[in-house]
Amino acid sequence: MANGKGQQKSVRAMFTSRFAAVATTVGSAVGLGNIWRFPYEAGVHGGGAFMLCYLFFVFVIGMPVLCAEFSIGRASRANAFGAFDKLSPGTPWRMSGLIGITASVLILSFYAVVAGWTLEYCVEALCGNLDFTDRTAGHETFRSLTGGTHALVWTVIFLAVNSFVVLRGVNKGIERLCNVLMPVLFVILVTFCIRSFFLPKFGEGMHFLFDPDFSKITPDVMLNAMGQAFFSLSLGVGSMLTYSSYFSDSTNLARTALSTALLDTLVAILAGVMIFPAVFSFGLSPEQGPALVFEVLPYVFNQMPLGALWAFIFFVLLFVASLTSTVSMSEISIAYFNEERHISRRKATLISSAITLVGGILCALSFGVLADFTICGKTFFNLFDFMSSNILLPIGAMLYSIYAGWVMKRKYLTRQFSDSVGHLSWFLPLLVFFMRWVCPVAIFIIFLNTIGLI
């Protein structure tokens, strides 16, 4: 185990500063999940009611799970598979790594499609083709850009860029990108929110997003809010576990978990504040699903001076935010192939990119020729999203939480938090209580509730 300072014989890469550790975990967490998925999920599931459930799942359930992943990752200094081999050799716990790898491949497949749309919108903005003048134009543009083979090409381009960044390794590629561009994205979002304040239906948008109608809190809304919270925080898949294995010993895990959750939620809320006033001001429906952000935002840009330039900047930043998230997803399977199967990083990247490419193609075609091909009433795109976010991530999160709370030797857990919260005697017992009881039981109840057993 390489968690004591004197014991670090490992040659694994490590983040070079504490700021880099936070910036990189925030880079993994902040992405399309906040800016594309959160507004559309909130739009479909009742606005304020969804928001309330989402906040509950981020701060009451997500934070302890994040601490669980961090502590397993840093205590083992290994990938999502190897961590359990090191901490509990010969036990079936390593299989939880399998859930993470499957989920990461599914997520990357549909995520690459949306990131591909983002790239496509960058180019269209640059060519001045996102200049919408009437309400149907946004819808038509979205359909024509995503329906044909364009989307397929852009998905492949995005996956190629992702593989390139991943090949450059942990420190250089990822850190540099996160450190510089995340703060810029934040400033741009705040600028758009200020712009949103001056839209005629700002109040209506805020009412929709922040005023919960409790009658809308159904099992389905809870399941989706839980899935969104885990998706947004990159939980249950092993990304945070793998990243924390690169943290230095002086990184304060509790504080890093809190900063990540706060910043991630802030970005999602800013995205909501940016989108919903525009939805109502332009007389659109909040329930449009995955197209929401792509159909609404060009309107917002259109109302601004130098709209095409703003659109271009926004979609470039969204693309970078997606990239920092997909890099963390790819890292799960690459670290597995590299460290467990002893395949070179280059080959590991190629293998995992090839697998995702197949998934990405199926998801991209879900908006074109495979639009009518459904399994359980869902296209590949919707199925991959549902299976990963609402099923695999919560199961993964439950397992990590149970492992850290019940199975992992207490001395490992204590050591992971002793530097950070040594003087807070209440912190560790409370965290363990949440890991042991609150998180697993809450996730389990929601599953039972969803399938109608309680």
Residues forming contacts to ligand PHE in the complex (CB under 6 A) are: 28-29, 31-34, 107, 231-232, 234, 237, 239, 325, 328-329
Output 225 or 284, the one with its CB closest to ligand PHE. 225
Least Å distance, CB 107 to ligand PHE, is 5
Output 30 or 75, the one with its CB closest to ligand PHE. 30
Helix, strand, or coil (residue 55) = helix
Distances from the Cα of 51 to the Cαs of 58, 219, 221, 394, 450, in angstroms? 10, 14, 10, 18, 19
Output 428 or 443, the one with its CB closest to ligand PHE. 443
Report how far residue 65's alpha carbon sits from residue 230's, in angstroms, rounded to the nearest whole number: 9
Report how far residue 124's alpha carbon sits from residue 29's, in angstroms, rounded to the nearest whole number: 27
Least Å distance, CB 101 to ligand PHE, is 11
| Residues in CB range of 14: below 8 A, 6 or more apart | 171, 246, 247, 248
**Closest residue to ligand PHE in the complex (CB):** 33
Least Å distance, CB 454 to ligand PHE, is 28
Report how far residue 431's alpha carbon sits from residue 65's, in angstroms, rounded to the nearest whole number: 9
Output 118 or 232, the one with its CB closest to ligand PHE. 232
> Could you give phi then psi for residue 391, rounded to 5 degrees?
-115, -60
Length of the chain: 454
Least Å distance, CB 18 to ligand PHE, is 21
* Nearest one of 42, 98, 102 to 387, comparing CA atoms: 102
Output 24 or 416, the one with its CB closest to ligand PHE. 24
Least Å distance, CB 77 to ligand PHE, is 20
Least Å distance, CB 419 to ligand PHE, is 26
Output 234 or 251, the one with its CB closest to ligand PHE. 234
Residue 35, Cα to own-chain centre: how many angstroms? 10
> Taking the CB of residue 372, how many other CB atoms lie within 10 A of it?
7
